[in-house]
């Protein structure tokens, strides 16, 4: 999340009624970000647009501390999209390690191939061109355009949606999925200036990650606590649909992870018997393996052998 140069703001004499809806929030949140933002490698200028894109793929549903070592190894091996595109997709799955949700590795590989073929190996700056890349949705396209190129886009991850739900709507949690209303609110809160909007996107995301967290929110450290609608309302408890919890132990996800671990560590095709040893329940094990094959993460071979995909 590259942070563009901080722009000037309006004077204290500006009245709230004359400002854009989010303007009273912009300056304190961005000032807080200037002081408290984590020094993350994808925020440094040398990361470039490819480094930003890689980080956005890896950070989906995965915490920063788990991403950091894999990110650094990935960029050392594949510093440009063309470097990754030249490898078999299975190598992306292998390098993904235990980050989880390994289909992201295949999607990132597919995006690298498309960038190499369509854009001369440079991550495009145009939002529509980003959105047209395989594996890139609205969030990732907006994040890369904003954080890498300093453009004005609403970047809505879970942290940002939670900050906006509390500070503006007065609710403890946002809906489980991003709604059209949330998108409209995020666009209404965007600063008009592109560089400020890009910095606001990074700052509001960081605020949700470090202060306005899902549990044990630190309102005493929040730069907009005095304006937060949820806090001013007495922090009413969540009364919407139950929040989705993430389970792992005993699930097909765990079985898939164990099967993939065997294939990642192997230097060649793996026999069925080696995969059978990683999970005791045969029906679940077979279902997980079939799912990996269906998702393109594993290739079956003659003779009951399996390998990571080569194409």
Amino acid 67: pLDDT: 97
- Say whether pLDDT at 20 is over 60: no
Query: What pLDDT band is residue 245 in, cutting at 50, 70 and 90?
Result: low
Burial of 253 (0-12, 13-18, 19+ CB in 10 A): middle
- 1 vs 260, higher pLDDT: 260
**Mean pLDDT throughout 38-67?**
96
Q: Provide the CA 212 distance to its chain's centre, in angstroms.
A: 18
The structure tokens 């132990």 sit at: 249
Tokens matching residue 127? 């939002």
**Of these residues, 56, 91, 206, 299, which one is catalytic?**
56
Q: How many CA atoms lie within 13 A of 221 on its CB side?
A: 14
Beta carbons of 110 and 101 less than 8 angstroms apart: no
- Say whether pLDDT at 191 is over 90: yes
Query: What pLDDT band is residue 248 in, cutting at 50, 70 and 90?
Result: confident
Q: Which residues of 61-74 are buried (b: 16+ CB within 10 A; e: fewer)?
A: ebeeeebeebbeeb
Enter the DSSP assignment of 221: G
Instruction: Please give the Cα distance from 79 to 106 (Å, whole number).
Output: 17
18 classed as catalytic: no
- Say whether pLDDT at 14 is over 60: no
Amino acid 6: pLDDT: 37
- Say whether pLDDT at 17 is over 50: no
**Mean pLDDT throughout 256-275?**
95
Give the pTM. Answer: 0.88
Q: Which runs of consecutive H residues, i.e. helices, occur in 97-243?
A: 103-118, 127-131, 138-149, 158-164, 180-189, 194-210, 229-232
């Amino acid at each position: 999340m590259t942070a563009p140069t901080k722009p000037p703001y309006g004077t204290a004499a500006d009245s709230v009624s004359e400002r854009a809806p989010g303007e009273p929030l912009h300056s304190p949140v961005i000032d807080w970000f200037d002081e408290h933002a984590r020094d993350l490698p994808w925020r440094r200028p040398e990361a470039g647009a490819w480094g930003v894109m890689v980080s956005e793929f890896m950070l989906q549903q995965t915490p920063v501390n788990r991403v950091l070592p894999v990110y650094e190894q990935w960029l050392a091996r594949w510093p440009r999209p063309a470097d990754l595109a030249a490898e078999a997709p299975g190598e992306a799955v292998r390098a993904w390690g235990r980050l989880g949700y390994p289909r992201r590795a295949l999607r990132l590989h597919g995006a690298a191939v498309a960038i190499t073929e369509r854009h001369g190996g440079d991550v495009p700056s145009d939002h529509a061109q980003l959105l047209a890349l395989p594996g890139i949705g609205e969030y990732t396209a907006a994040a890369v355009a904003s954080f890498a190129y300093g453009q004005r886009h609403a970047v809505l991850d879970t942290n940002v949606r939670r900050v906006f739900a509390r500070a503006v709507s007065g609710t403890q949690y946002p809906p489980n999925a991003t709604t059209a209303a949330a998108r409209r609110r995020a666009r209404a809160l965007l600063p008009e200036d592109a560089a400020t909007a890009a910095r606001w996107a990074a700052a509001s995301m960081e605020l949700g990650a470090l202060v306005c967290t899902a549990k044990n929110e630190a309102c005493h450290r929040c730069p907009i606590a005095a304006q937060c609608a949820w806090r001013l309302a007495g922090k009413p408890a969540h009364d919407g649909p139950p929040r989705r919890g993430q389970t792992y132990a005993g699930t097909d996800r765990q079985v898939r992870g164990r099967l993939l671990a065997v294939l990642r560590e192997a230097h060649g095709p793996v026999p069925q018997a080696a995969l059978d040893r990683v999970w005791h329940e045969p029906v679940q094990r077979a279902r997980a393996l079939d799912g990996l094959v269906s998702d393109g993460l594993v290739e079956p071979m003659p003779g009951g052998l399996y390998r990571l995909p080569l194409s």
